[in-house]
Chains A and B, each alone.
Chain A
Amino acid sequence: MMSSLATVLNTASRALAAQQEALQVTAQNVSGANMPGYSRQRVLYGQSVADGGVVVMGVARATNPVLDRQLLQLSTSSSQAGTKQQSLEYIQTIFSEPSAGSLSGLLDEFWAGWQQVSNTPTSQAARVGLLQKATALTDIFQRVARDITSYRTSLHDQASQAVNQLNDLSEQIANINVDLARVQKETIQANGLRDLRDEKLRQLAGLAAITVQEDPLSGASTVLVGGRILISGEQAEKVSMIPTGGTFANPAWPDGTPFSLGAGAIAAYVDARDNLTVQQVEELDQLAEDLATALNAVHAGGYGLDGSTGQDFFLGSGAGDLRVNPALLSNPSAIAAAQEADAPGDSRNALAIYNLAHQAVAKSGTLTIAEAYQTQLSSLGTAVVGARDTARQQELVQEHLHALRQDVSGVSLDEEMVALVRYQNAYSVTARLIDSVNQIMDYLVRTV
């Protein structure tokens, strides 16, 4: 009799402990409801072999490892797409087309200046006006080229910062690996550490494509990038920026092997720095060169009002240093509008130069200067649209996966409220049970 009652008390006390543990977990869930990356936790109950009472086996996280792996991949691709979109949009704003004072407008004005000189070749005003328009044109060529080049430096800095962030995250994850080894499995503390590590892994995946393996015994994560180990247990490799021989540096492992730049934000910064920007500058350089070459060829064959001949109109070898010949700037009469010497009314050379506007002198003789530039802009615009669409699509998929993850691991405050009520009731009933047993024992003791 007594042993049965004692057993009941035992069971009841276990039940109380279990309800208390459950209440603690509920409190934990409620506190983590708004934490990013928090996984809801639940108590794992088992039966005691000794007396069949409830025993708390541990506190488990509700997660879906397959979903987590997908989210890692998506973090990488989404971050890469977002970075590419930002870079292209910024390059687009550098051109600031269409607007007054943009390259296309100034190019038009430049040709108009030549038409004016061809109509009134002896007018100093027309010549000075042409030189002003030519200078405005060369200024904007220089400005756009310069701005894109300095954006390359900015992209490089962002890549470096991302690499620093990668190193920080690696170190933090390695530290969590150490802490996890010390903490007992399937406890609230262990779950918290795992949640933190998962969040950091997702941030890390945004920077570079990673694969993660977990050691079942120690619980430590091994993180690989491009097949090579970045983090193993408490060891985290440091990635640094090593000069590539040009102006910039690329991320590399400690032994100098290049860091795999397959995907992720770091790869996107480097790609923008080395490809997206360079392509635009190269096309602009080609445009400036085509313009200068074609125009100089005609100009050098003509005569100025002062008899000078054989002079280039444009100097420089690309968009960055395109400029008007200073000899002309200081002496507008030297502009070769005529095709024979000592013929102030002769404007055939100026006319020939004006007609260059409609001749296919760009893109290996297939497009006019204006068409070549417009094509460059159109391509850029299309690239921006493409990048935006990709980034948006990635965002939507990420959101969908996130919603699925919430389905598994998210905290619903209403649910926790219901659980709270349940545990509270169970606790009160258990307490009542203990009270009843106590009274019975009391009675028995008094009777015997």
Chain B
Amino acid sequence: MRITTETLTTVLLRSINDTSSRLADVQSHIATSKRINDPSDDPAGLFQSLSMHSQVSEYKRGVDAIGYARGWLETTEQGLTQIQEQVLRARTLALNAGNGTLSEDELHAISSEMRQLLNAVASAGNTQYQDQYVFSGYATKDAPFTTTTTGAGATTVAYAAQPGDIVVSLGRNSPFVVNSDLQSTFDLVINALQGLTDDLAAGDSSSIQSTWLGQLDQAIGAVGDAQADAGGKIRNLDLASDYLSARLIQEQKVLSQTEDLDMAAASLEVAKAQTTYQAVLTLTAKALQPGLVAYLR
């Protein structure tokens, strides 16, 4: 086969172009440190990589959401603890008042204190987390415990919440309800304390043994249950948090394997490409020397 000048130069040019474009390609991947810069670099791999990115950010958001839910539940727990303190104190007072040995004035004094305990319950029950009333159900902008002053310095306290689940989403198909329906629990508390306040204000300690102590015990039990419920939810959140953190690390690892460039291998590629490139250039220089004409003198 005849090798003409043009054949030779075409082959040399092709070699130069091929090696320099290989060099440019590897360098562009090193610059981004990613294996996939375009869909055409790895169409199937891109699909996986995008899904995994989605998943990783979902896990991260899940961790944040758990933090938020935990905050809500801790606020709930603290509120319930304070309410329980008032109810326990009320029981002590009621026990004392119910033994039938106190004077009318002493009963009046206890009634006042009972009223203060009730107000304290209302105040604790109106606790908020990030500007939302935690015991209000859906009516998070409205205080659940309302205190109305009826004539002659008396007050009544009422509790009303808009029924509904406050749901915090921890991730795909992971809704977490942070509140519970405490209407009956708080009704027990309010009825007992209100009833005691009114009776003692009228100097009547007869129903304490028969009715009010029993109701107070029921209230204490109910609030205790609510506290246990909140505590249990917090423990669940902690478990979920551990699980999510582990999943997050795992997913990030797999994502890195799919998406990130093996820098060591890439550096070798660059070295190889550069060496080849230089070899081609040297060859080109030698091959393009003048031909026969230089020797015919």
Residues of A within 8 A of B (CB): 33-34, 89, 92-93, 95, 97-98, 104-105, 108, 112, 115, 118-123, 338, 340, 342-348, 351, 354-355, 357-358, 370-371, 374-375, 377-382, 384-385, 388, 399, 402-403, 406-407, 410-415, 417-418, 421
A154 to B185, alpha carbons, bound, how many Å?
Answer: 72
Judge whether A355 and B41 touch: CB under 8 Å. no
Q: Is B164 an interface residue (CB 8 A)?
A: yes
A378 to B42, alpha carbons, bound, how many Å?
Answer: 8
Interface hits, B32-90 → A, CB 8 Å: 34, 36-44, 46-47, 49-51, 53-54, 57, 61, 65, 68
Choice from A344, A345, A403 contacting B10 with Cβ under 8 Å:
A403
Q: A345-B166, A407-B4 are in contact. List 14 more A-B contacts (CB 8 A).
A: A92-B39, A97-B38, A97-B39, A97-B50, A105-B53, A121-B140, A345-B140, A346-B164, A357-B172, A374-B50, A374-B51, A381-B39, A402-B10, A406-B7
**Chain B contact residues: helix, strand, loop or mixed:** mixed
Closest approach, in angstroms, between the C-beta of B61 and any C-beta of chain A?
Answer: 6
Please name 27 pairs of A and B residues whose Cβ atoms are closer than 8 Å in the assembled complex, sorted by A.
A34-B6, A97-B50, A98-B49, A98-B50, A115-B61, A118-B167, A118-B168, A118-B169, A119-B168, A122-B141, A343-B139, A343-B162, A344-B138, A344-B140, A345-B136, A345-B140, A355-B172, A370-B50, A380-B39, A381-B38, A381-B39, A382-B43, A410-B2, A410-B6, A412-B4, A413-B293, A414-B291
Choice from A123, A378, A382 contacting B130 with Cβ under 8 Å:
A123
Judge whether B291 and A104 touch: CB under 8 Å. no
A410 to B49, alpha carbons, bound, how many Å?
Answer: 51
Chain B contacts of A34 at CB under 8 A? Answer: 5-6
Closest approach, in angstroms, between the C-beta of B297 and any C-beta of chain A?
Answer: 12
Judge whether A345 and B46 touch: CB under 8 Å. no
- Given known pairs A345-B132, A406-B7, the reply for A351 and B39 (CB within 8 Å) is no
Judge whether B2 and A119 touch: CB under 8 Å. no
Judge whether A351 and B164 touch: CB under 8 Å. no
Chain A contacts of B42 at CB under 8 A? Answer: 381
Choice from B40, B138, B296 contacting A388 with Cβ under 8 Å:
B40
Judge whether A378 and B39 touch: CB under 8 Å. yes
Chain B contacts of A340 at CB under 8 A? Answer: 138, 164
- Given known pairs A119-B169, A380-B39, the reply for A345 and B53 (CB within 8 Å) is no
Chain B contacts of A118 at CB under 8 A? Answer: 167-169
Judge whether A119 and B3 touch: CB under 8 Å. no
Judge whether A375 and B172 touch: CB under 8 Å. no
Q: Is B1 an interface residue (CB 8 A)?
A: yes
A421 to B293, alpha carbons, bound, how many Å?
Answer: 10
Chain A contacts of B41 at CB under 8 A? Answer: 381
Chain B contacts of A105 at CB under 8 A? Answer: 53
Q: Is B14 an interface residue (CB 8 A)?
A: yes
Closest approach, in angstroms, between the C-beta of B25 and any C-beta of chain A?
Answer: 12
A115 to B65, alpha carbons, bound, how many Å?
Answer: 9
Chain A contacts of B138 at CB under 8 A? Answer: 338, 340, 343-346
Chain B contacts of A415 at CB under 8 A? Answer: 2
Judge whether A406 and B2 touch: CB under 8 Å. yes
Choice from B4, B57, B296 contacting A411 with Cβ under 8 Å:
B4
Judge whether B46 and A97 touch: CB under 8 Å. yes
Q: Mark B165-192, 1 if CB is under 8 A from A, else 0.
A: 1111100110100000000000000000
Judge whether A385 and B136 touch: CB under 8 Å. no
Q: Which residue of A lies closest to B56 (CB)?
A: A108
A406 to B37, alpha carbons, bound, how many Å?
Answer: 40
A346 to B141, alpha carbons, bound, how many Å?
Answer: 11
A370 to B37, alpha carbons, bound, how many Å?
Answer: 19
The 9 tightest CB contacts between A and B, nearest first, are A381-B39, A410-B4, A343-B138, A381-B43, A345-B140, A384-B40, A414-B292, A345-B138, A378-B43
Chain B contacts of A108 at CB under 8 A? Answer: 53-54, 57
- Given known pairs A347-B167, A381-B43, A385-B40, the reply for A122 and B140 (CB within 8 Å) is yes
Chain A contacts of B4 at CB under 8 A? Answer: 33, 406-407, 410-412
A421 to B292, alpha carbons, bound, how many Å?
Answer: 11
Closest approach, in angstroms, between the C-beta of A252 and any C-beta of chain B?
Answer: 35
Chain B contacts of A92 at CB under 8 A? Answer: 38-40
A430 to B60, alpha carbons, bound, how many Å?
Answer: 95
Q: Mark B132-148, 1 if CB is under 8 A from A, else 0.
A: 10001111110000000
- Given known pairs A119-B68, A345-B138, A345-B162, the reply for A378 and B46 (CB within 8 Å) is yes
Closest approach, in angstroms, between the C-beta of B126 and any C-beta of chain A?
Answer: 15
Judge whether A378 and B47 touch: CB under 8 Å. yes
Chain A contacts of B168 at CB under 8 A? Answer: 118-119
Judge whether A33 and B164 touch: CB under 8 Å. no
- Of A89, A343, A418, chain B has the most CB atoms within 10 Å of the CB of A343
Chain B contacts of A417 at CB under 8 A? Answer: 291-293, 296
Q: Which residue of A lies closest to B41 (CB)?
A: A381
Q: Which residue of B lies closest to A357 (CB)?
A: B172
Judge whether A377 and B7 touch: CB under 8 Å. no
- Given known pairs A112-B61, A344-B139, A345-B140, the reply for A410 and B39 (CB within 8 Å) is no
- Of A347, A370, A382, chain B has the most CB atoms within 10 Å of the CB of A347
Closest approach, in angstroms, between the C-beta of A74 and any C-beta of chain B?
Answer: 15
